Amino acid sequence: MRDRAHKLGAKLINGTVHKLEIPNNDKDPYVLHYADHAKEGLQGEAKTLKVDMVIGADGANSRVARAIDAGDYNYAIAFQERIRLPEDKMAYYEELAEMYVGDDVSPDFYAWVFPKYDHVAVGTGTMRPNQARIKELQRGIRARAAKRLEGGEIIKVEAHPIPEHPRPRRVVGRVALVGDAAGTVTKSSGEGIYFAAKSARMCAETIVEFSNSGERALSEDELKLYIKRWDKEYGLTYKVLDILQSVFYRSDASREAFVEMCSDIDVQKLTFDSYLYKTVVPANPLTQLKITAKTVGSLLRGYALAP
Ligand SMILES: Cc1cc2nc3c(=O)[nH]c(=O)nc-3n(C[C@H](O)[C@H](O)[C@H](O)COP(=O)(O)OP(=O)(O)OC[C@H]3O[C@@H](n4cnc5c(N)ncnc54)[C@H](O)[C@@H]3O)c2cc1C
């Protein structure tokens, strides 16, 4: 994507932004203070850049979000190990991804073994993180998948916050946040890559539409159209996934109900379509009714609604 942007005329700067100076009117430029890493050395060379607009795509610990006082969000912590498996073990994951639930692997989210092209990512997430607990949960998922991970070699370890909600302010002045900086990860699945790219695209499309081919900067109201369009397209999906997570991820009993419900072919179809098309795809009313009845049945059987 970076190379394509470059080919299409973007000027690339390899830098770390340390500060964003905000003008006190809607005409003057924003001033980015950054370390330019074009030359050798970790520190980089201190430089500034004046710009008309800023898109903060700098992830969950976004400095841009802090600079515009975008407000906080709740977050989970995800931990994962990238493991290279022997060929025969990797073959098992060629066409499937695994999701594990239970207090031993996560008290309020899930753990996973996801194939990543030539290796697997084995990890877990929780809303109530502390270092010792995360390590314990990671041991839990490693134990559950032990047989299938035999002979594997850890090639990378990652830990990072996963936003649980959008930030209270995603556009302030001529600054917009996208992706994790804005808080676009979906509940239940924790999927963030698609939504980060999509939010960036929608923000860029709005800028292209109103900037007269880059002739003028957008006002806050014009830029906020991107948020309106986003919420219109994905608001319901976020709500449904939020409800799913709070109902089904809260105890082993409710997770058992979730697993039971997921064995149903109609639920599988609905889930798959929703995942593929990034929307809560409506099934026909009869199927919808059947799914609702099965959901309630599963929950009651698993005493999942008990406090
Ligand atoms: C362990 C784990 C597993 C995950 N698994 C999945 C998965 O399987 N599928 C999925 O869809 N999502 C997954 N997610 C979520 C997904 O990774 C994120 O939602 C997604 O990467 C967000 O993209 P982004 O571009 O907004 O932010 P990021 O990917 O965090 O990118 C932000 C970029 O900004 C740069 N940056 C930050 N600060 C500065 C600064 N001051 N100056 C300059 N540059 C800066 C960073 O170096 C980085 O390159 C996972 C997350 C975690 C933590």
pLDDT tens-digit readout, 138-190: 999 999 999 999 999 999 999 999 998 999 999 999 999 999 999 999 988 88
Q: What is the pLDDT of residues 1-39, one digit of tens each?
A: 899 999 999 999 999 999 999 999 999 999 999 999 998
Indicate whether 278 and 226 sit together in one domain.
no
Residue among 178, 71, 60, 78 at smallest CA distance from 134: 78
Count of beta carbons in the 10 Å neighbourhood of residue 263: 10
| CA–CA distance, 68 with 58 (Å, rounded to integer) | 13
How far, in Å, from the CA of 180 to the mean position of ligand 1? 7
Give the chain's largest Cα–Cα span: 64
Predicted pLDDT of residue 304: 57
Indicate whether 60 and 90 sit together in one domain.
no
Q: What is the pLDDT of residues 205-259, one digit of tens each?
A: 999 999 998 899 999 999 999 999 999 999 988 888 888 888 888 888 888 888 8
Is 307 within a domain?
no
| CA–CA distance, 141 with 111 (Å, rounded to integer) | 6
Q: Helix, strand, or coil here: 159?
A: strand
Indicate whether 65 and 212 sit together in one domain.
yes
- Give the range of the structural domain holding residue 107, as residue numbers without chain letter: 75-163
Is 218 within a domain?
yes
Q: Which residue from 2, 193, 201 has its CB within 8 A of the most atoms of ligand 1, so it is best to mutate? A: 193
Q: What is the pLDDT of residues 70-81, one digit of tens each?
A: 998 888 999 999
Is 279 within a domain?
yes
Is 30 within a domain?
yes
Which is it for strands 54-56 and 30-36: parallel, antiparallel or unpaired? unpaired
| CA–CA distance, 58 with 175 (Å, rounded to integer) | 13
Q: Give the CATH number of the domain where residue 223 resides.
A: 3.50.50.60
Indicate whether 147 and 93 sit together in one domain.
yes
Is 212 within a domain?
yes
Q: Give the CATH number of the domain where residue 96 resides.
A: 3.30.9.10
Which residues are near ligand 1 (CB < 6 Å)? 16-17, 57-59, 63, 78, 80, 114, 123, 158, 160, 162, 179-181, 185, 190-194, 196
Nearest residue CA, atom 38 of ligand 1?
Answer: 58
Q: What is the pLDDT of residues 245-296, one digit of tens each?
A: 888 888 888 888 888 888 888 888 888 888 888 877 666 777 777 777 777 7
Is 66 within a domain?
yes
Q: Which residue from 37, 58, 186 has its CB within 8 A of the most atoms of ligand 1, so it is best to mutate? A: 58
